[in-house]
């Protein structure tokens, strides 16, 4: 299983602001959807809540400390080991953020898909 990270960042390497993405770039969102389609995405609860829904055509695996958390269309796990066990037969998984999730998985990342935005937010 290859662990990949996917993110967009501005000139100052900002990836988000106040649990939201401070830009809207439809072409980049299309790229993210096409790149992750058919692969699991790993994201934190806050990131999921900012998106507001499970993304279609891929497994949405939510890593949270909240043992009572549920969300329609998502698989909920509570440790990095749970993620690796769930995904052991997957070809590639995508770390989808937010910041805590990126930091947790960074030592395992083999490939990064980064969109650089030439603007400051």
Q: What is the CATH number of the domain that holds 59?
A: 3.40.430.10
Question: CA-CA distance, 14 to 52, in Å (whole number)?
Answer: 21
- What is the extent of the structural domain holding 41? 2-116
| 22 domain-assigned | yes
Cβ-based burial of 102 (10 A; exposed 0-12, middle 13-18, buried ≥19): buried
26 lies in some domain: yes
The reply to whether 121 falls in a domain is no
Answer whether residue 29 is part of any domain. Answer: yes
Number of domain units in the chain: 1
Residue pLDDT tens, the chain, 121 long: 999 999 999 898 878 777 777 778 899 999 999 999 999 999 999 999 999 999 999 999 999 999 999 999 999 999 999 999 999 999 999 999 999 999 999 999 999 999 999 888 8
* pTM recorded for the entire structure: 0.92
């Amino acid at each position: 299983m290859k662990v990949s990270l996917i993110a967009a960042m501005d000139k100052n390497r900002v990836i988000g602001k106040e649990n939201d993405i401070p830009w809207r770039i439809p072409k980049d969102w299309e790229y993210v959807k096409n790149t992750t389609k058919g692969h699991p995405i790993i994201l934190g609860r806050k990131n999921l809540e900012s998106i507001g829904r499970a993304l279609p055509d891929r497994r949405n695996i939510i890593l949270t400390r909240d043992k009572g958390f549920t969300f329609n269309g998502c698989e909920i796990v509570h440790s990095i080991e749970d993620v690796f066990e769930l995904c052991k037969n997957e070809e590639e998984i995508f770390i989808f953020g937010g910041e805590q999730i990126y930091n947790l998985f960074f030592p395992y990342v083999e490939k990064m898909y980064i969109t650089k935005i030439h603007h400051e937010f």
